[in-house]
Amino acid sequence: SNRTFTMIKPDAVANGHIGAILEKINAAGFRIAALKMTRLSAEKAGEFYAVHKERPFYGELVEFMSSGHIVAAILEKDNAVEDFRKLIGATNPANAEPGTIRKLYAESVGRNAVHGSDSDENAEIEGSFFFSDLEKF
């Protein structure tokens, strides 16, 4: 597929990095197919990250992701999922390559500035979590 899904997380939104992150996304050749600034309730954040329910950081993750506004977007580019994960860098910014979004803007492994889907299937599921068919196409 040529689509992926991203969220700019509450840390990066609160720190004023929305514009800089969208600029990096565009500069890397992604087209923004859908975009919205919104907020997740704790219930919705828990649903989005349900696959991590048994992990020790789940409670912290849900609390953080519902702590402030986020920006959700569907992005288009050849090889979108893999190329976007390269652009954002490792989950822990301490291990992220120079120039990646997480190296530049993330605070810690928990507050790591952006999300990027890990498969075509999850990109579709996650995009549909935030956007209606009319918004998506």
For residue 14 the two structure tokens come to 């609160």
Residue ranges of the annotated binding site for ATP are 9, 57, 85, 91, 102, 112
User: Using CB under 6 A as the criterion, what x/- string covers residues 7-46 for binding ligand ATP?
Assistant: ----------------------------------------
Beta carbon of residue 57, minimum distance to ligand ATP (angstroms, whole number): 4
Helix (H, G, I), strand (E, B) or coil at 9: coil
Helix (H, G, I), strand (E, B) or coil at 72: strand
User: Using CB under 6 A as the criterion, what x/- string covers residues 105-124 for binding ligand ATP?
Assistant: ----xx-x--xx-x------
Between 102 and 131, CB nearer to ligand ATP? 102
Neighbour order of strands in the sheet with 114-116: 31-39, 69-76, 3-8, 114-116
Between 13 and 134, CB nearer to ligand ATP? 13
Comparing CA positions, the residue from 75, 101, 92, 87 lying closest to residue 15 is 101
